[in-house]
Amino acid sequence: MPPFLRPPGVRSEKDLQSRCISCGRCVAVCNYACLELTPDYFFFGGGTPKIFQRKSPCFLCMKCVAVCPTEALRPVPMTEAGMGLARIDKAKCVDYQRNAGVMCWTCYERCPLKGKAIILKNGYLPEITEHCVGCGVCEYVCPVTVVQVTPARHLPGSCA
């Protein structure tokens, strides 16, 4: 299975699996069709919502968290979505190549938390801050695929 994120507002992987009843309401309201109930129902946690960020990332519209009947997705603001943390491979990012002569900034421009989750260090170098919620938009838009989001369940200290 390709890398995937969980929707906004998930407390932990275990909590999501306990609460999610695969009603599909989050999928139904998602404007960007980024949420998927994968057809792996016969495994524990199957049929729970996933976001394949390289296919369609979350734009943090936060409609899904408002309709979840079991609060598997907590009604949190977009700044507390808690989906993961992005990381830029600076060795390969064109903005960091001195001789490339390119000012890409695509991740910065498209970030739903522009100026907060991604800032321009020294005015031109994109840098992820601690405010990143891991929506996956930067990974999706990066033209040289050097941005990668680590899902919250894989972050150190995660209680997944």
Partner 1 sequence: MKLRSLPFRPFRRAAQVGIALLFAVIPFLNRQGMTFLAGNFFYFEAAGAPLADPLSTLQVALGAFSLTPSAGLGAGLVLLLALLMGPVFCAWICPYGLFSELAHGIASACGRGAKKTAADASVPFPSFAPKAFLVCAGLPAVLFFAPVPLLNYLSMPGWYALVMQHIAFYGEILPGALAFISVLLAVESLSGRRLWCLYLCPQSVLISLAAAVLPGRLRVRFNGKSCICRGPENPCRGRCSLGLDPRAVQRKSRLYCVNCGDCIDACREKGGALNFAFGKAERLRSKSS
Point out which residues bind partner 1 (CB under 8 A).
14-15, 17-25, 27-29, 31, 33, 36-37, 39, 41-42, 44-45, 47, 67, 69-71
**Spatial distance between the Cα atoms of 94 and 144, rounded to a whole number of angstroms:** 8
Angle at 131 between CA 72 and CA 16, to 5 degrees: 15
Beta bridge partners of 150: 85
**Spatial distance between the Cα atoms of 98 and 102, rounded to a whole number of angstroms:** 9
Nearer Cβ to partner 1, position 72 or 83?
72
Angle at 145 between CA 141 and CA 148, to 5 degrees: 90
Nearer Cβ to partner 1, position 8 or 49?
49
DSSP designation for 5? B
For the bound state, the minimum distance from the C-beta of residue 70 to partner 1, rounded and expressed in Å, comes to 5
- Please, are residues 63 and 7 in contact by the beta-carbon 8 Å criterion? no
For the bound state, the minimum distance from the C-beta of residue 78 to partner 1, rounded and expressed in Å, comes to 20
For the bound state, the minimum distance from the C-beta of residue 67 to partner 1, rounded and expressed in Å, comes to 7
Nearer Cβ to partner 1, position 20 or 86?
20
For the bound state, the minimum distance from the C-beta of residue 112 to partner 1, rounded and expressed in Å, comes to 21
For the bound state, the minimum distance from the C-beta of residue 158 to partner 1, rounded and expressed in Å, comes to 17
**Spatial distance between the Cα atoms of 43 and 3, rounded to a whole number of angstroms:** 17
**Spatial distance between the Cα atoms of 18 and 84, rounded to a whole number of angstroms:** 20
Tell me how long the chain is.
160
Nearer Cβ to partner 1, position 28 or 103?
28
Nearer Cβ to partner 1, position 42 or 130?
42
